[in-house]
Amino acid sequence: EPEVTQTPSHQVTQMGQEVILRCVPISNHLYFYWYRQILGQKVEFLVSFYNNEISEKSEIFDDQFSVERPDGSNFTLKIRSTKLEDSAMYFCASSAPGTSGRDEQFFGPGTRLTVL
Amino acid sequence: KNEVEQSPQNLTAQEGEFITINCSYSVGISALHWLQQHPGGGIVSLFMLSSGKKKHGRLIATINIQEKHSSLHITASHPRDSAVYICAAFPYPIQGAQKLVFGQGTRLTINP
């Protein structure tokens, strides 16, 4: 069964360093998402991506964040200069286009980011 | 104010019990996901529904869009059902890449 994959599973970095979180969505999906979950809190939307551009972003997704689909398979989230409060689990998700805009989203296993 | 609220936040039950987790939302939505999150953190989609009822094995999900309420039921609960159950809604307006708005989750523990 096709699945969304994410690498690495755990990333530890120093404050101020750049990190890139990688995702491989399901191959025929066209919509891509990043969500994050700070420990003990609910999952929050960061950004959605379609047709090589951002569809929507939350207020969390400031200038320190960027997303890219560098080739036909990868979808990346870059944090330019990490802060302690960026420590969280980051989930990638993808969905296929259906007859409406709301299609079942499939989640990757997550990347746990720890900023020291 | 949370747009999506779940109750209860924590639920402990004995194996075999019938479980109900509730989700209510304050915004207009087009559909709703029920998700399962295991201790390792991974999220699995259980259901996506916009009306009526869906059943998969021992899991049943219902939704009433007008009343802004959904429920997840587990029949004949088992310790392996222990997880965090999350409802997540698709708010209007509908657009191509449709974000989800999440509830805070219900931590379910089933004791043998």
Interface of B with A in 38-97 (CB under 8 A): 40-45, 48, 50, 86, 88, 90, 94-97
User: DSSP letters of B14-59?
Assistant: ETT--EEEEEEESS-EEEEEEEEE-TT--EEEEEEESSEEEEETTE
Distance from CA of B26 to the nearest CA of A (A): 17
pLDDT score of A92: 97
Find the closest chain A residue to B96 by CA distance.
A101
Reply yes or no on whether the pLDDT at A35 is more than 90. yes
Q: B97, B37, B42, B77: which is closest to A103 by C-alpha? A: B97
Edge-first strand order for the sheet with A75-79 is: A5-7, A19-24, A75-79, A65-68
- Read off the DSSP letter of residue A28: T
Using the Cβ of A89 and the Cβ atoms of chain B, whether some distance falls under 8 Å is answered with yes
Which band of pLDDT confidence, cut at 50, 70 and 90, is reported for residue A101? low
**Residue pLDDT, tens place only, A39-82:** 999 999 999 998 889 999 999 999 999 999 988 789 999 999 99
Reply yes or no on whether the pLDDT at B1 is more than 70. no
* Euclidean distance between CA atoms B36 and B56, whole angstroms: 14
Q: Which H or E run includes A53?
A: strand A53-57
The answer to whether A56 contacts B90, with C-beta atoms less than 8 Å apart, is: no
Reply yes or no on whether the pLDDT at A97 is more than 90. no
Using the Cβ of A90 and the Cβ atoms of chain B, whether some distance falls under 8 Å is answered with no
Q: Give contacts of A48 with chain B, Cβ < 8 Å.
A: 97-99
pLDDT score of B15: 97
Reply yes or no on whether the pLDDT at B2 is more than 70. no
Q: Give contacts of B90 with chain A, Cβ < 8 Å.
A: 101-102
Three-class SS state of A86:
helix
User: Which whole number is the average pLDDT over B9-13?
Assistant: 97
pLDDT score of A99: 55
CB-closest option in B86, B94, B98 to A43: B86
Using the Cβ of B33 and the Cβ atoms of chain A, whether some distance falls under 8 Å is answered with yes
User: Which whole number is the average pLDDT over B18-24?
Assistant: 97
pLDDT score of A100: 55
pLDDT score of B6: 96
Q: B108, B87, B92, B97: which is closest to B45 by C-alpha? A: B87
* Euclidean distance between CA atoms A40 and A29, whole angstroms: 30
Q: Give contacts of A110 with chain B, Cβ < 8 Å.
A: 41-43
